[in-house]
A and B are shown apart, each in its own frame.
Chain A
């Protein structure tokens, strides 16, 4: 993950290699999620499962603007973020299989992927609860004079939580290096934003705390990437927290238990026309930067990656029952 000096905007052409990289990243997420859905129906994966189909441009675009030194706090819909951050698909699937080879040793499952190497502080399954943690990570960086970004992903549902407002206020008050990324997919589980918010302009709410806030088309990976670069650069320049509202849509149900009674097929189909992968593919094709061969090659590579990941998870082992009560308290003291 490199830091690009000049943020790409909609009007500018994208370099072929970079375009293919973004496309490949989004396809990796989509195929992983497709596999998760399949494995859920065959009961290989249990518990709650929240899939990211339709929202891939947000994770891919934002993470492109961050380095491995930055910190990430994500939600329970975080497979894609973990994957793009660098957690292997095998470790992610093994986690969902409940295997000790999983990235959280099978203690967390789908909603709680963690990785210390990439400073991935977890999928958090309490809506809004990750925001204060990101504020604290940023506070630690500021107090230790480290020039790093703490990036927090959350949904539009979190905007209704007190922790959202407390966190934005604290981050702005103390000018902390936090990148707040709202993945506004228009629904807090099954209740539309318009039924829960008196003011539905989320970026406007953030701006009221005195931090720069932008709303961006969350279905356009280049737009997200460009906005994230600008925000990350401002944070690194010491300008304090920045807020990004990515307007997006989830194609699948909220979770595998959701009968989707709250939205109609036509609305979903309309949004699917704006699929971030399909539209970006078209764009690259129109610019002559991607061929059918390229696409076939990407799909083949990703298929191999996912199939190897499934094999890794299948071959995983169960943690011995004697270890049940481990990791409640630390096993070693620290400096």
Chain B
């Protein structure tokens, strides 16, 4: 691929999501955005800033603080021929809409014997690390990935933030897109004509031979940073970005582990009953004889996220912890 300054441009993750929404609204008049403060306020994280003026109050629709009501209305609108993008301010508030997401969106196709699919896209901010304490810091994307009937996307890169939305809107079934709030200010470089990307494959973000670090969203960048530090010590870590938590792309994971023979999963979710546990089990089932060491997991400490910075930092996966863990896993067996 040849790229020049003229064909590439810089933009933030936030701008990428906004562009994706704008493009979808321009391409398909069935698409509309609905959620708390998405219109006049411009979005809690300023993602939809400016869209209200561009598209008006019908298509950039402010809602009351009625998560169950407006998520359910999104489901109904999807059944009625629209292509709603419903924004839930953060995953924490999605618990107020869990009934609609889990009891309705995820099961209507099945309960109706295939008669009624629900083409809704729900966007949610997720993640900790901003000192906003236990009720605003959860990473429940892995928990939603437990539910058959849902698809769960976790764009980490600006390219995915730009490209996953359209593919999700084209999907006939409910898709949840988790945007880690720590990434909104991250800058990236994209081709001018960047557009839709696939939503069903994991991606290798860094090649390596000694260990596979599997991660997604904000933790991905911690894993990449750790890999750079480890490379100076002669340890080459391969870093896989899951991108989609449901369905999981087993093939990419297992292929990588077959090359590196070690695997570490870095996940901001809690360890018990976690997505990391699921991936670990799949590696055990699918690549047990390839392993030179037990699969390890680095997850959040089993505690509601505390406010104090030193405690919150200690609760979340961090670069130094990844480095230490990889050294232990690879040390003496390289």
Residues of A within 8 A of B (CB): 71, 100, 102-108, 112, 114-116, 121-122, 124, 126, 129, 131-141, 143-144, 150, 162-163, 166-167, 169-170, 173, 326-334
Contact = CB atoms under 8 A, between A and B. Distances in A.
Given A122-B108, A131-B72, A114 B113 contact: yes
Contacts of A141: 80
A153 to B, nearest CB: 15
Given A136-B79, A163-B69, A328 B32 contact: no
Nearest to B82: A140
A330 B63 CA distance: 29
A143 B30 CA distance: 9
Nearest to B96: A162
Give the contact-size bracket for chain B: 35 or more
Interface in B67-120: 68-82, 84, 99-100, 103-104, 108-117, 119
Contacts of A126: 99, 103-104
A106 B99 CA distance: 23
Contacts of A163: 68-69, 72, 99
Interface of B: 32, 58, 63-64, 66, 68-82, 84, 99-100, 103-104, 108-117, 119, 148-149, 151, 170-173
B76 A114 contact: no
B75 A133 contact: yes
Contact of B77 (A105, A108, A136): A136
A330 B117 contact: yes
B82 A144 contact: yes
Given A163-B99, A328-B149, 6 more contacts: A143-B58, A144-B81, A170-B73, A328-B110, A330-B117, A333-B172
B112 A334 contact: no
Nearest to B172: A330
A331 to B, nearest CB: 7
A329 B66 contact: no
B72 A132 contact: yes
Contact of A132 (B68, B81, B84, B113): B68
6 contacts: A108-B111, A108-B113, A132-B69, A170-B66, A328-B109, A333-B171
Contacts of B81: 140, 144
Pairs A-B, 4 closest by C-beta atoms: A136-B76, A132-B72, A140-B80, A166-B69
Given A124-B104, A129-B104, A330-B117, A135 B72 contact: yes
B63 A122 contact: no
Q: Give the residue among A126, A132, A138, A173 with the most B Cβ atoms within 10 A.
A: A132
A144 B76 CA distance: 13
A328 B148 contact: yes
B146 to A, nearest CB: 13
Contacts of A326: 114
B116 A114 contact: yes
Given A132-B76, A136-B75, A167 B69 contact: yes
A107 B75 contact: no
Contact of B73 (A106, A129, A136): A136
Given A138-B76, A143-B32, A169 B69 contact: yes
A123 to B, nearest CB: 9
A124 B113 CA distance: 14
Contacts of B112: 104, 107-108, 112, 114, 116, 122, 327
A114 B118 CA distance: 14
Q: Give the residue among B99, B113, B116 with the most A Cβ atoms within 10 A.
A: B113
B176 to A, nearest CB: 14
Contact of B111 (A107, A131, A150, A166): A107
Q: Give the residue among A106, A126, A135, A138 with the most B Cβ atoms within 10 A.
A: A135
B75 A132 contact: yes
